[in-house]
């Protein structure tokens, strides 16, 4: 005698659904959910940041529009390790990677090219989780719909705050990338910026 199991399966399914929909409010967005990107700097603002960065390189003084690291950058950078495994738009202690004072000051000190600064601030581009690379903490991002040919990476020493930035624009450098190094040198290296 063959028993019909479908009513039993349907009854079990109904019980599971009832248990799952207990009337609890829907989950709120998690702290790490993507947030809209901050506005891109206009040409005047980029020119000012670039001017401030150049001033820093020549005089050591930071202009009013540049982010200044808090006293003790060496100790402040150590909390960058908490970003490992997170995307740059996720927050740690209420701050995203791109808004962390050690990261912003490092980029402003290292990159003096306004075009590169503007490109790195493009909203909505893909990014990878932050990871470790050669003792540094690094992020990678690219231009939406053009990742192979237009990408960048930011590598920050979590102890000293020293920052290296890779910028790849295939239209300008072919299969090589421009590296802006913490010691103020610029190098062209083979490959793109997919180091992290």
**What does the pLDDT look like over 150-196, one tens digit per residue?**
999 999 999 999 999 999 999 999 999 999 999 999 999 999 999 87
DSSP 8-state code for residue 61: P
- Single pTM value for the model: 0.63
C-alpha to C-alpha distance for 150 and 40, rounded to whole angstroms: 17
The 163-169 sheet, strands edge to edge: 131-133, 136-142, 150-156, 163-169, 176-180, 186-190
Q: Which of the residue ranges 12-21, 37-46, 64-73, 181-190 has the most confident prediction, judged by mean pLDDT?
A: 181-190
């Amino acid at each position: 005698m063959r028993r019909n199991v479908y009513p039993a399966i349907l009854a079990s399914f109904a019980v599971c659904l009832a248990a799952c929909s207990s009337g609890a409010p829907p989950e709120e967005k998690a702290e790490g959910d993507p947030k809209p990107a901050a506005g891109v700097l206009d040409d005047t603002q980029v020119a000012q940041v670039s001017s401030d960065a150049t001033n820093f390189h020549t005089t050591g003084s930071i202009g009013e529009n540049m982010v200044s690291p808090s006293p003790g950058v060496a100790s402040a950078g150590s909390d960058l390790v908490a970003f490992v495994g997170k995307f740059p738009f996720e927050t740690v202690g209420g701050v995203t990677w791109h808004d962390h004072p050690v990261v912003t000051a490092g980029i402003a000190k290292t990159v003096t090219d306004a075009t590169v600064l503007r490109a790195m601030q493009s909203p909505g581009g893909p990014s990878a989780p932050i990871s470790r690379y050669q003792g540094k903490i690094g992020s990678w991002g690219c231009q939406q719909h053009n990742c192979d040919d237009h990408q960048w990476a930011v590598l920050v020493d979590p102890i000293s705050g020293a920052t290296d930035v890779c910028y790849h624009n295939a239209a300008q450098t072919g299969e090589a990338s421009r590296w802006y190094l913490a010691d103020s040198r610029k190098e062209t290296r083979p490959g793109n910026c997919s180091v992290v």
